[in-house]
Amino acid sequence: MHSFSASERLKSSKMGYLNSVIFLLSGLMFSHTAYSAQSFTLEQIVRIATEQNPSINISKAREDAATASVITASTYANPQFEIGAGPSNYITPGGQGNKRNWGVAISQPLDFPSVRNAKREVAEKNVEVATLGIELTKMDVRTRVKSSFYDVLQRQAVLEIAEADRNLLKDIRERVKLRVDVGESPKYELIKADTEALAAERDFQAARVRVVEAKAYLRGLIGAAVPEDYHLSGGLPLSSSLPSIDEIRDLINDAVQLRQIRAAIKTSEANLRLQEQLRNPGLTVRAGIEQDPDLRQLRLGILIPLPVWDQRSGPIAQAAAEVREVNAVLNERELAIKRDIESAYQRYLIAQQQVTAFEQGLLSQAESVLKVAEAAYRFGERGILDYLDAQRTKRVVRKDYLSARYEYINTMLEIERLLGYELLEVKS
């Protein structure tokens, strides 16, 4: 058995004090860096994403294009001006004149009122589809941003746990080493403490990488308006809850996705009517003057296309198929939304039960077991293995609690996305 001399113990104490000072200075530097980085609330993040997300800008451009098509559908076709001239050769003798002729004419294509109304109806329905597309895209972006925001918060909480465990296990390892060095504990306890300390360091580094990854993904949803080095302030809104499943089922029929598909059905039906009207789209009014060497003629005429060979059978059949396709898409989306909402709601109930179980018993039980194991270890009634097992159990319980909290919120956001309604209020 080997025992430390007084000078060796003093040296060990100085080294421990030096390590504590270094750790404290590192913590102060980290705190200063965190303080200097810009902090964002959920409300700010959602507002920036709504203003700058590329997907929303794409949807707005589509709405502008659809609005422009209404102008196109309401605009008359341009008139056509025709002019021509050339020599005249008389077949019979005795003709008079300077042997020159010329002609001027102007023609105006005119759509029938039924065709113009059908064109305008198609364009207006496209605007409605595009407008609902903006609403749907905004809701999708908001739910994705909120889910990513809470994911960062959850990973930061896990990082805090991992950091606290790493520091605690380092301290435990130093104490065990001292007890092993003075012969109060067997060497295998130091091996076990070293293993746990290395595992805690590994978990800490992995948790830190996951936080960086989650923050980078969130920044990718928002854009360059958020700096690379930023922090989030806020917490998971565990006080929020969903309505009953029956109330949510009543909202499915008015989901934004289904409203957009119904608008697309109206658009395809209007296009079918347009294709049918285009069998005989309109007429062309023509007026002109023709000057022969010794004769001037004024002409008024109407040109009407005759649907003899082309009765637009192909475009009409294609438009009718599009109507059937969009109706089938509506039925498919209704079934999919109902199925996904039922599944998400069950996961929401499970997560809610798990959060309640953790808060009403598991967390306090894990804390009590750790306190008992720590006290028994300090008084020599239990070994280091029991204490480390209790510490590991508490760590696992706290991480599972954080995962359950995030799943609780994420299922609510999934139902939000499916319905297109704000169920989880954004607060600063």
341-400 pLDDT tens trace: 999 999 999 988 888 888 888 888 887 877 887 777 677 666 666 777 787 788 888 888
Are 112 and 277 a contacting pair, CB within 8 Å? yes
Whole-number Å distance between alpha carbons of 86 and 105? 15
Q: How is residue 411 written in tokens?
A: 């299922």
69, 114, 133, 263 from 72: Cα distances, Å: 5, 16, 21, 20
Q: Kindly report the three-state secondary structure assignment for every residue of the chain.
A: CCCCCHHHHHHHHHHHHHHHHHHHHHHHHHHHHHHHCEEECHHHHHHHHHHHCHHHHHHHHHHHHHHHHHHHHHCCCCCEEEEEEEECCCCCCCCCCCCEEEEEEEEEEEECHHHHHHHHHHHHHHHHHHHHHHHHHHHHHHHHHHHHHHHHHHHHHHHHHHHHHHHHHHHHHHHHHHHHHCCCCCHHHHHHHHHHHHHHHHHHHHHHHHHHHHHHHHHHHHCCCCCCCEEECCCCCCCCCCCCHHHHHHHHCCCHHHHHHHHHHHHHHHHHHHHHHCCCCEEEEEEEEEEECCEEEEEEEEECCCCCCCCCHHHHHHHHHHHHHHHHHHHHHHHHHHHHHHHHHHHHHHHHHHHHHHHHHHHHHHHHHHHHHHHHHHCCCCCHHHHHHHHHHHHHHHHHHHHHHHHHHHHHHHHHHHHCCCCCCCCC
The answer to whether 385 touches 321, Cβ cutoff 8 Å, is: no
pLDDT of 344: 92
CA distance 282 to 409: 59
Q: What is the pLDDT of residue 14?
A: 40
Exposure letters 42-55 (e unless 16+ CB within 10 A, then b): bebbbbbbeeebee
CA gap 88, 3 in Å, rounded: 132
Cα radius of gyration (the chain): 39
Q: Which two tokens stand for residue 101?
A: 């002729």
CB contact at 8 A, 154 and 405 = yes
Query: What parts of the chain have a pLDDT lower than 50?
Result: 1-35, 428
For 17, other C-beta atoms within 10 Å of its C-beta total: 10
Residues 143 and 354: their CA atoms lie apart, in Å, by: 23
* CB-CB neighbours of 281 under 10 Å: 19
Q: What are the tokens at 276?
A: 């049918």
The pair of three-digit structure tokens given for residue 331, joined into one six-digit string: 């039925």
Buried b (16+ CB within 10 A) or exposed e, 61-78: ebbeebeebbeebeeeee
Residue pair 103/288 in contact (Cβ under 8 Å)? The answer is yes
Yes or no: say if 165 and 395 are a contact pair by the CB < 8 Å rule. Answer: yes
Q: Could you tell me the pTM of the whole model?
A: 0.74
